[in-house]
Structure 1
Amino acid sequence: MLARSPRARTPAGDLHARGFSFRETVTEADRANVRSILESTGFFYPEEVQVGIELVDDHLVSGVESGYRFLFAEKGGETLGYSCFGPIACTRAAFAIYWIAVHNAHRGQKIGRELLARTEEIIARLGGDQIHVETSNRAQYKPTRAFYENNGYERAAVFPGFYAPGDDKVVYVKLLPPRP
Protein backbone atom coordinates (compact mmCIF):
# COMPACT_ATOMS: atom_id res chain seq x y z
CA MET A 1 0.00 0.00 0.00
CA LEU A 2 1.36 3.40 -0.94
CA ALA A 3 1.63 5.95 1.86
CA ARG A 4 1.12 9.67 1.36
CA SER A 5 4.44 11.50 1.39
CA PRO A 6 4.80 14.41 3.77
CA ARG A 7 5.13 17.76 2.04
CA ALA A 8 8.66 18.96 2.70
CA ARG A 9 10.88 21.50 1.03
CA THR A 10 13.95 20.02 -0.59
CA PRO A 11 17.31 21.13 0.81
CA ALA A 12 18.20 22.18 -2.75
CA GLY A 13 16.18 25.37 -2.19
CA ASP A 14 19.42 27.37 -2.07
CA LEU A 15 19.64 27.25 -5.88
CA HIS A 16 18.06 30.72 -6.09
CA ALA A 17 20.86 32.05 -3.90
CA ARG A 18 23.36 30.53 -6.35
CA GLY A 19 21.81 32.34 -9.31
CA PHE A 20 19.46 29.67 -10.61
CA SER A 21 15.98 30.52 -11.82
CA PHE A 22 13.00 28.48 -12.94
CA ARG A 23 10.38 29.17 -15.59
CA GLU A 24 7.22 27.48 -16.82
CA THR A 25 6.98 29.42 -20.08
CA VAL A 26 7.89 27.44 -23.21
CA THR A 27 9.70 29.17 -26.08
CA GLU A 28 10.80 28.13 -29.56
CA ALA A 29 14.39 28.01 -28.25
CA ASP A 30 13.35 25.17 -25.94
CA ARG A 31 13.32 22.79 -28.90
CA ALA A 32 17.13 23.12 -29.06
CA ASN A 33 17.43 23.26 -25.26
CA VAL A 34 15.58 19.97 -24.83
CA ARG A 35 17.60 18.33 -27.60
CA SER A 36 20.87 19.46 -26.03
CA ILE A 37 19.88 18.32 -22.54
CA LEU A 38 18.60 14.91 -23.62
CA GLU A 39 21.50 14.18 -25.98
CA SER A 40 24.06 15.19 -23.34
CA THR A 41 22.88 12.50 -20.93
CA GLY A 42 23.79 9.58 -23.18
CA PHE A 43 20.69 7.79 -21.89
CA PHE A 44 18.20 8.33 -24.69
CA TYR A 45 17.91 6.84 -28.15
CA PRO A 46 17.55 9.36 -31.02
CA GLU A 47 13.84 8.53 -31.38
CA GLU A 48 13.33 9.27 -27.67
CA VAL A 49 15.04 12.64 -28.05
CA GLN A 50 12.71 13.37 -30.96
CA VAL A 51 9.69 12.59 -28.77
CA GLY A 52 10.97 15.06 -26.16
CA ILE A 53 11.16 17.76 -28.85
CA GLU A 54 7.70 16.85 -30.17
CA LEU A 55 6.22 17.48 -26.73
CA VAL A 56 7.71 20.98 -26.80
CA ASP A 57 6.17 21.44 -30.26
CA ASP A 58 2.78 20.26 -28.99
CA HIS A 59 2.93 22.78 -26.17
CA LEU A 60 4.02 25.59 -28.49
CA VAL A 61 0.97 24.91 -30.69
CA SER A 62 -1.67 24.17 -28.04
CA GLY A 63 -0.31 25.43 -24.71
CA VAL A 64 -1.52 23.57 -21.63
CA GLU A 65 -4.35 22.12 -23.73
CA SER A 66 -1.65 19.85 -25.21
CA GLY A 67 -1.61 18.05 -21.85
CA TYR A 68 2.08 18.88 -21.38
CA ARG A 69 3.54 21.41 -18.98
CA PHE A 70 7.19 22.27 -18.57
CA LEU A 71 9.53 23.60 -15.94
CA PHE A 72 13.00 24.79 -16.98
CA ALA A 73 16.00 25.41 -14.72
CA GLU A 74 18.31 28.18 -15.87
CA LYS A 75 21.41 30.05 -14.83
CA GLY A 76 22.98 32.97 -16.63
CA GLY A 77 20.59 32.60 -19.56
CA GLU A 78 21.51 28.94 -20.11
CA THR A 79 18.89 26.19 -19.77
CA LEU A 80 20.40 23.47 -17.60
CA GLY A 81 17.53 21.04 -17.08
CA TYR A 82 13.81 20.58 -17.40
CA SER A 83 10.78 18.56 -16.50
CA CYS A 84 7.76 17.76 -18.64
CA PHE A 85 4.58 16.65 -16.91
CA GLY A 86 0.84 16.64 -17.20
CA PRO A 87 -2.45 15.16 -16.07
CA ILE A 88 -3.12 11.54 -16.92
CA ALA A 89 -6.24 11.32 -19.08
CA CYS A 90 -9.29 9.59 -17.60
CA THR A 91 -8.06 9.91 -14.01
CA ARG A 92 -9.45 12.09 -11.26
CA ALA A 93 -6.20 13.71 -10.15
CA ALA A 94 -3.20 11.65 -11.30
CA PHE A 95 -0.29 13.28 -13.08
CA ALA A 96 2.70 11.86 -14.93
CA ILE A 97 6.20 13.21 -15.08
CA TYR A 98 7.16 12.32 -18.64
CA TRP A 99 10.68 13.72 -18.60
CA ILE A 100 13.07 15.11 -16.05
CA ALA A 101 16.63 15.64 -17.19
CA VAL A 102 19.64 17.79 -16.41
CA HIS A 103 22.40 18.56 -18.89
CA ASN A 104 25.31 16.24 -18.18
CA ALA A 105 27.67 19.22 -17.69
CA HIS A 106 25.51 20.41 -14.78
CA ARG A 107 24.76 17.18 -12.94
CA GLY A 108 25.61 16.95 -9.26
CA GLN A 109 24.35 20.46 -8.43
CA LYS A 110 20.97 19.28 -7.06
CA ILE A 111 19.18 20.74 -10.08
CA GLY A 112 17.27 17.51 -10.71
CA ARG A 113 16.12 17.31 -7.12
CA GLU A 114 14.94 20.93 -7.20
CA LEU A 115 13.18 20.41 -10.55
CA LEU A 116 11.41 17.39 -9.08
CA ALA A 117 10.38 19.24 -5.90
CA ARG A 118 9.11 22.25 -7.84
CA THR A 119 7.30 20.01 -10.34
CA GLU A 120 5.59 18.25 -7.44
CA GLU A 121 4.56 21.63 -6.00
CA ILE A 122 3.06 22.70 -9.33
CA ILE A 123 1.21 19.39 -9.66
CA ALA A 124 -0.20 19.79 -6.13
CA ARG A 125 -1.24 23.37 -6.92
CA LEU A 126 -3.06 22.06 -10.01
CA GLY A 127 -4.99 19.59 -7.84
CA GLY A 128 -2.91 16.48 -8.44
CA ASP A 129 -2.89 13.92 -5.68
CA GLN A 130 -0.52 11.35 -7.13
CA ILE A 131 2.42 11.32 -9.52
CA HIS A 132 3.48 8.48 -11.80
CA VAL A 133 6.89 8.15 -13.41
CA GLU A 134 8.29 5.38 -15.53
CA THR A 135 11.84 4.42 -16.31
CA SER A 136 13.90 1.50 -17.50
CA ASN A 137 15.44 -1.33 -15.51
CA ARG A 138 18.65 -1.19 -17.59
CA ALA A 139 21.80 -0.90 -15.47
CA GLN A 140 22.52 2.66 -16.62
CA TYR A 141 19.17 3.71 -15.10
CA LYS A 142 20.08 2.50 -11.61
CA PRO A 143 20.87 6.10 -10.49
CA THR A 144 17.52 7.22 -11.96
CA ARG A 145 15.65 4.59 -9.98
CA ALA A 146 17.57 5.54 -6.83
CA PHE A 147 16.74 9.23 -7.47
CA TYR A 148 13.01 8.49 -7.45
CA GLU A 149 13.23 6.15 -4.46
CA ASN A 150 15.27 8.72 -2.49
CA ASN A 151 12.59 11.32 -3.21
CA GLY A 152 9.65 9.35 -1.85
CA TYR A 153 8.52 7.40 -4.92
CA GLU A 154 7.54 3.77 -4.49
CA ARG A 155 7.98 1.09 -7.12
CA ALA A 156 4.44 0.19 -8.12
CA ALA A 157 4.84 -2.04 -11.18
CA VAL A 158 7.31 -3.69 -13.51
CA PHE A 159 6.43 -4.59 -17.10
CA PRO A 160 8.93 -7.23 -18.28
CA GLY A 161 10.41 -6.66 -21.74
CA PHE A 162 8.27 -3.56 -22.28
CA TYR A 163 10.85 -1.47 -24.14
CA ALA A 164 12.81 -4.39 -25.60
CA PRO A 165 13.78 -7.91 -24.55
CA GLY A 166 15.48 -7.52 -21.17
CA ASP A 167 14.50 -3.85 -20.90
CA ASP A 168 11.63 -3.69 -18.42
CA LYS A 169 9.49 -0.65 -17.71
CA VAL A 170 9.53 0.29 -14.00
CA VAL A 171 6.67 2.47 -12.76
CA TYR A 172 7.00 4.58 -9.63
CA VAL A 173 4.18 6.37 -7.81
CA LYS A 174 4.17 9.09 -5.19
CA LEU A 175 1.00 10.01 -3.33
CA LEU A 176 0.89 13.68 -2.47
CA PRO A 177 -0.44 14.82 0.90
CA PRO A 178 -3.88 16.39 0.94
CA ARG A 179 -3.81 20.14 0.33
CA PRO A 180 -4.76 22.28 3.33
Structure 2
Amino acid sequence: MIRPTQPKDKTAILAIAKAIGFQPEEQETLGEMVADYFKGNGELWFTDDEQGPVGVAYCASERMTTGTWNLLFIAIHPERQGQGRGTALIHHVEQTLTAQGVRLLLVETSGVPDFEPTRQFYRHCGYEEEARIREFYDAGDDKIVFRKVLKTVD
Protein backbone atom coordinates (compact mmCIF):
# COMPACT_ATOMS: atom_id res chain seq x y z
CA MET A 1 0.00 0.00 0.00
CA ILE A 2 1.39 3.41 -0.98
CA ARG A 3 0.08 6.41 0.90
CA PRO A 4 1.00 10.05 1.45
CA THR A 5 3.46 10.66 4.23
CA GLN A 6 2.16 11.91 7.53
CA PRO A 7 4.09 13.93 10.13
CA LYS A 8 4.34 10.88 12.38
CA ASP A 9 6.33 9.06 9.63
CA LYS A 10 9.43 11.23 9.97
CA THR A 11 11.13 8.89 12.44
CA ALA A 12 10.53 5.88 10.17
CA ILE A 13 11.84 7.78 7.14
CA LEU A 14 15.04 8.65 8.97
CA ALA A 15 15.40 5.03 10.14
CA ILE A 16 15.17 3.84 6.52
CA ALA A 17 17.80 6.42 5.51
CA LYS A 18 20.08 5.23 8.31
CA ALA A 19 19.57 1.59 7.31
CA ILE A 20 20.68 2.30 3.73
CA GLY A 21 23.82 4.06 4.95
CA PHE A 22 22.97 7.75 5.21
CA GLN A 23 25.44 9.64 7.36
CA PRO A 24 24.13 11.88 10.18
CA GLU A 25 24.42 15.08 8.10
CA GLU A 26 22.52 13.40 5.24
CA GLN A 27 19.83 12.28 7.67
CA GLU A 28 19.57 15.86 8.92
CA THR A 29 19.11 17.15 5.36
CA LEU A 30 16.44 14.52 4.72
CA GLY A 31 14.67 15.57 7.91
CA GLU A 32 14.65 19.14 6.61
CA MET A 33 13.19 17.93 3.29
CA VAL A 34 10.38 16.15 5.15
CA ALA A 35 9.70 19.28 7.21
CA ASP A 36 9.63 21.31 3.98
CA TYR A 37 6.99 18.96 2.60
CA PHE A 38 4.69 19.69 5.52
CA LYS A 39 5.05 23.39 4.75
CA GLY A 40 3.41 22.66 1.38
CA ASN A 41 6.53 22.32 -0.78
CA GLY A 42 7.06 19.33 -3.05
CA GLU A 43 5.40 15.95 -2.90
CA LEU A 44 6.26 12.97 -0.77
CA TRP A 45 5.02 9.40 -0.93
CA PHE A 46 5.57 6.65 1.54
CA THR A 47 4.94 2.96 1.34
CA ASP A 48 4.29 0.63 4.22
CA ASP A 49 3.10 -2.90 4.87
CA GLU A 50 1.91 -5.09 7.68
CA GLN A 51 5.26 -4.74 9.45
CA GLY A 52 5.41 -0.94 9.23
CA PRO A 53 7.02 1.58 6.91
CA VAL A 54 9.59 0.12 4.53
CA GLY A 55 10.10 2.69 1.76
CA VAL A 56 9.89 6.33 0.85
CA ALA A 57 10.10 8.54 -2.22
CA TYR A 58 10.35 12.32 -2.30
CA CYS A 59 10.15 14.60 -5.33
CA ALA A 60 9.84 18.30 -5.96
CA SER A 61 9.34 20.59 -8.91
CA GLU A 62 12.38 22.10 -10.55
CA ARG A 63 12.37 25.86 -10.17
CA MET A 64 12.09 28.02 -13.27
CA THR A 65 10.86 25.16 -15.48
CA THR A 66 7.51 24.09 -16.84
CA GLY A 67 6.61 20.56 -15.85
CA THR A 68 10.05 19.31 -14.77
CA TRP A 69 10.40 17.55 -11.42
CA ASN A 70 13.25 15.90 -9.53
CA LEU A 71 13.02 12.61 -7.70
CA LEU A 72 15.22 13.64 -4.80
CA PHE A 73 15.06 10.51 -2.69
CA ILE A 74 13.81 6.98 -3.03
CA ALA A 75 14.72 4.17 -0.66
CA ILE A 76 13.51 0.78 0.45
CA HIS A 77 14.74 -0.72 3.71
CA PRO A 78 17.56 -3.18 2.86
CA GLU A 79 15.67 -6.10 4.44
CA ARG A 80 12.78 -5.51 2.00
CA GLN A 81 14.68 -4.78 -1.20
CA GLY A 82 14.36 -7.08 -4.20
CA GLN A 83 10.59 -7.52 -3.75
CA GLY A 84 9.42 -5.01 -6.37
CA ARG A 85 8.64 -2.33 -3.78
CA GLY A 86 11.01 0.26 -5.26
CA THR A 87 9.62 -0.30 -8.74
CA ALA A 88 6.04 0.02 -7.47
CA LEU A 89 6.92 3.17 -5.57
CA ILE A 90 8.64 4.89 -8.49
CA HIS A 91 5.76 3.94 -10.82
CA HIS A 92 3.30 5.41 -8.32
CA VAL A 93 5.28 8.65 -8.28
CA GLU A 94 5.37 8.73 -12.09
CA GLN A 95 1.64 8.06 -12.44
CA THR A 96 0.75 10.73 -9.89
CA LEU A 97 3.01 13.31 -11.53
CA THR A 98 1.77 12.43 -15.02
CA ALA A 99 -1.82 12.98 -13.86
CA GLN A 100 -0.71 16.44 -12.67
CA GLY A 101 0.71 17.25 -16.11
CA VAL A 102 4.38 16.82 -15.28
CA ARG A 103 6.45 16.32 -18.44
CA LEU A 104 9.84 15.22 -17.21
CA LEU A 105 11.23 13.48 -14.13
CA LEU A 106 14.94 13.71 -13.32
CA VAL A 107 16.91 11.72 -10.80
CA GLU A 108 20.56 11.97 -9.87
CA THR A 109 22.88 9.46 -8.30
CA SER A 110 26.54 8.77 -7.68
CA GLY A 111 28.86 7.35 -10.31
CA VAL A 112 30.95 5.23 -7.92
CA PRO A 113 30.95 1.45 -8.46
CA ASP A 114 28.94 0.82 -5.27
CA PHE A 115 26.02 2.67 -6.89
CA GLU A 116 25.85 0.49 -10.00
CA PRO A 117 22.81 -1.39 -8.61
CA THR A 118 21.07 1.96 -8.12
CA ARG A 119 21.88 3.05 -11.68
CA GLN A 120 20.69 -0.32 -12.96
CA PHE A 121 17.41 0.15 -11.06
CA TYR A 122 16.77 3.45 -12.82
CA ARG A 123 17.57 1.91 -16.20
CA HIS A 124 15.21 -0.97 -15.42
CA CYS A 125 12.48 1.59 -14.67
CA GLY A 126 12.94 3.24 -18.07
CA TYR A 127 15.26 6.11 -17.17
CA GLU A 128 18.04 7.13 -19.53
CA GLU A 129 21.37 8.61 -18.53
CA GLU A 130 21.23 12.26 -19.59
CA ALA A 131 24.30 13.86 -18.03
CA ARG A 132 27.44 13.20 -16.06
CA ILE A 133 29.21 15.86 -14.04
CA ARG A 134 32.67 14.58 -13.28
CA GLU A 135 33.87 14.64 -9.68
CA PHE A 136 30.72 16.46 -8.54
CA TYR A 137 30.32 14.84 -5.11
CA ASP A 138 34.02 14.28 -4.48
CA ALA A 139 37.22 13.40 -6.32
CA GLY A 140 36.37 10.29 -8.34
CA ASP A 141 32.64 10.52 -7.60
CA ASP A 142 30.61 11.73 -10.57
CA LYS A 143 27.03 12.95 -10.48
CA ILE A 144 24.92 11.02 -12.98
CA VAL A 145 21.56 12.46 -14.00
CA PHE A 146 18.86 10.19 -15.39
CA ARG A 147 15.68 11.40 -17.08
CA LYS A 148 12.32 9.98 -18.03
CA VAL A 149 9.70 11.67 -20.16
CA LEU A 150 6.35 11.32 -18.43
CA LYS A 151 4.17 13.30 -20.79
CA THR A 152 4.91 14.43 -24.31
CA VAL A 153 3.83 17.90 -25.33
CA ASP A 154 1.32 17.93 -28.17
Q: Into which bin does the TM-score normalised by the smaller protein fall?
A: over 0.9
Give the conservation status (yes or no) of the 8 Å contact 1:130–1:176: yes
Structure 1 unaligned spans of 5+: 1-20
Equivalent position of 2:71 in the other structure: 97
Aligned position for 2:25: 47
The amino acid of 2:111's aligned partner reads N
Are residues 142 and 76 of structure 1, via their aligned partners in 2, closer, same or farther at CA, if it must alter by over 3 Å? same
Amino acid at match of 2:57: S
TM-score (norm 1): 0.81
More strand by share: 2
Aligned counterparts of 1:47 and 1:156: Cα–Cα separation in 2: 28
Letter of the aligned partner of 1:117 in structure 2?
Answer: H
Specify which of 105, 129, 132 is matched with residue 106 of structure 2.
132
Shift of 1:30: 1.8
Hey, what's the Cα distance between the residues in 1 that align with 2:59 and 2:129?
19
Q: Percent identity?
A: 30
Amino acid across the alignment from 2:14: R
2:34 maps to 56
Q: Deviation per CA, 1:16-72, whole angstroms, max 9, x where unpaired?
A: xxxxx1111x32222211111111112x33222211111111122x12xx2x21111
Is 1:83 equivalent to 2:57 in the alignment? yes
**Which residue of structure 1 lines up, in the alignment, with residue 2 of structure 2?**
22
Runs of 4+ with >3 A deviation: 177-180
d(CA) in 1 for partners of 2:132 and 2:27? Answer: 23
Contact 1:30 1:56 (8 Å CA) reproduced:
no
CA distance in 2, matches of 1:179, 1:104: 38
Equivalent residue letter for 1:76: E
Q: State the Cα distance separating 1:77 from its structure 2 match.
A: 5.8
Letter in 2 for 1:118: H
Output the amino acid matched with 1:38: A
Q: CA deviation at 1:126?
A: 1.3
Residue of structure 2 equivalent to 1:15: none
Q: CA deviation at 1:179?
A: 8.5
The offset of 1:112, in angstroms, is 0.3
By relative contact order (CA 8 Å, sep 6+), the higher-ranking structure is 1
